[in-house]
Structure 1
Amino acid sequence: MTSMSREQQVSKVFVQVADSLIDDFDLIEFLEELCAHCVDLLDVSAGGILLANEKDLLHTIAASDQTTHLLELFAIQHDQGPCLDCYRTRSARCNIDLHDPAATASWPVFAEQARRSGFRMSHVFPLRLRDRAVGAMNLFHSRQQSLSPEDASLAQALADVATIAILQQRDLGQEQLEKTQLQRALSSRIVIEQAKGILAERWNVTPDAAYEALRSYARAHQLRISDCARHIIDQTLDTDRIPRT
């Protein structure tokens, strides 16, 4: 199969977000795909999206892969890290050298974990609506490679697309509804992580493999990943029916 050009990938992302505004779509699935698009379009090694809850604490909502080291790296930013700074200032920051003590002085634990995970550079972009932010997107390079101004602009556009999908543009004027939508998204992520853990332990496989099996089953049956996850947790879905990948 011929791979899509950069322009085709960008078009696909915007078509998907347009669909999200009119259809009952799977938000987690969309954001996972958006992170994967960031990796391909921007030539980065990994990426993830974090949302703030009602207490302004950041939690992972989507990542380009489900490896433990990457998810732990995002989880650290609950307390410190470039995403937390980005969320608070509502400003992007690119080309952070994770081996530069001066650049990482504000978050030493995060920087050390990032280096141990094999990452060299970090870039963060706010998920913002008008004059406030609802979260942040974090991208990583495993080598010393900078984002060009053009790529940084595209990254911010993708972060803005994620914000639109999360908040549903037709309802943006209602602050309480925004908070409800954000909390629902975070709750769905928690449910998915629980179900992923159940499958990984039951099958003795990696969390990444468990997640791929769960996502494939949901797609095949035209279900939301979060709904499948809830059925696994409340034991209304026989996990033997889920093909292992």
Structure 2
Amino acid sequence: MEISLEDVRHALIELGRLRFGEMGVEEAIREIVATTHSMFAVDGAGLMLTDTAHHLRSVAASDDRFAHLEELQVRHQEGPCIEAYDTKELIGATDLEQDGRWPLFSKAAVNREVRAVLASPLPYNQDAVGVVAVLSERSRPWSPANELALLAFTDLAALLIASIIQGEQQS
């Protein structure tokens, strides 16, 4: 399914609304995942952040299946989210059954009926502090519009998380 400019506009308005609300980081992260899931009309979405040792950890997922796949990536240190975080670039897989980049992750994903993934790093200065990812149960070519929308969305999500954390630190 192709994402429209109207979908992107609606999602960005939702995130903008969150920025001015009274909420903590955990609630904001859950809202980011829910908005990502609905905006991209995908079968799952998740958000991973780094811990104090700079290791990615799953912090929010649209369902248990996606949370499990995030944990597999952490355990095996391979997968689209790990690669997006390490390279600080958008990483996509259109068909994990045919993609040989992450053999352990891909096999587990296909076994859980996940075929396509798009992962975008959450930027902070010149670094990445996490990853937002979407998944599909069927093979799916990610269009340039999908890729651009996820990049824009993760940039705004990173700003939202940073502003909430900064607000909590000043309180």
Give TM-score scaled by structure 1 length. 0.59
* Equivalent residue runs for 1:41-190 within 5 Å: 41-65=39-63, 67=64, 69-78=65-74, 79-100=77-98, 103-105=99-101, 107-168=102-163, 171=166
Deviation at 1:16, TM superposition (A): 1.0
Q: Is 1:34 aligned to residue 29 of structure 2?
A: no
Partner residue, 1:14:
16
Kept in 1: contact 2:25–2:164 (CA 8 A): no
Greater relative contact order, per chain length (Cα 8 Å cut-off, separation 6+): 2
Report which stretch shifted further, 126-135 or 145-154.
145-154
CA–CA separation in structure 1 for the residues paired with 2:105 and 2:146: 24
* Bigger Rg, which one: 1
Closer/same/farther in 2, CA of residues 95 and 82 from structure 1, 3 Å limit: closer
Kept in 2: contact 1:70–1:117 (CA 8 A): no
AA aligned to 1:84 is I
SS in 2 for 1:98: coil
Kept in 1: contact 2:120–2:154 (CA 8 A): yes
Deviation at 1:124, TM superposition (A): 0.8
Q: Which runs of 5+ in 1 are unaligned?
A: 172-179, 181-245
Deviation at 1:13, TM superposition (A): 1.9
CA–CA separation in structure 1 for the residues paired with 2:104 and 2:66: 14
Report which stretch shifted further, 150-159 or 110-119.
150-159
CA–CA separation in structure 2 for the residues paired with 1:76 and 1:84: 10
SS in 2 for 1:124: strand
Kept in 2: contact 1:33–1:64 (CA 8 A): no
Deviation at 1:145, TM superposition (A): 1.8
Aligned-residue Cα RMSD (Å) equals 2.4
Deviation at 1:30, TM superposition (A): 1.8
Q: Which runs of 5+ in 2 are unaligned?
A: 1-5
**Runs (4+) off by over 4 Å:** none
CA–CA separation in structure 2 for the residues paired with 1:132 and 1:117: 31
Give TM-score scaled by structure 2 length. 0.83
CA–CA separation in structure 2 for the residues paired with 1:58 and 1:111: 18
Question: Identity over aligned residues, as a percent?
Answer: 23
